[in-house]
């Protein structure tokens, strides 16, 4: 588990998990039962995940050499990743 981020409601951790073949997989850990849930993003995400709200995790992905976009994905493993901000780096949420 690397780069953990606590959910706003304090019940889950989002983090990046090292894949056996290399790369990273965004995952959520439910603290109540320690169940791990891989998120719908299947590309290697070498970035600190950030919770947008209790249902959504954001992260940066490179798209063209040194440029990146910020993406968002549902925290329950469903849905599909969606671009949140083009030509942006790691997300930071202000509360």
Q: Is residue 36 predicted with pLDDT exceeding 80?
A: yes
State how far the alpha carbon of 11 is from the alpha carbons of 7, 14, 58, 64, 68, in Å: 6, 10, 17, 35, 29
Residue 3's pLDDT is 87
Stated pTM of the model: 0.89
The domain limits of the chain are 2-85
The predicted model gives 38-49 an average pLDDT of 92
Q: Is residue 2 predicted with pLDDT exceeding 90?
A: no
Residue 54's pLDDT is 95
Residue 95's pLDDT is 72
Rounded mean pLDDT of the chain? 92
d(C-alpha 27, C-alpha 41), whole Å? 9
């Amino acid at each position: 588990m690397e780069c953990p981020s606590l959910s706003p409601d304090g019940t889950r951790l989002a983090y990046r998990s090292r894949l056996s073949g290399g790369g990273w997989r965004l995952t959520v850990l439910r603290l109540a039962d320690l169940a791990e849930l891989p998120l719908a993003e299947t590309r290697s995400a070498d970035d600190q995940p950030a919770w947008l709200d209790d249902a959504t995790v954001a992260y940066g992905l490179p798209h063209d050499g040194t440029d990146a976009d910020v993406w968002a994905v549902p925290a329950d493993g469903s849905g599909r990743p969606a671009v949140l901000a083009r030509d942006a780096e790691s997300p930071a949420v202000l509360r």
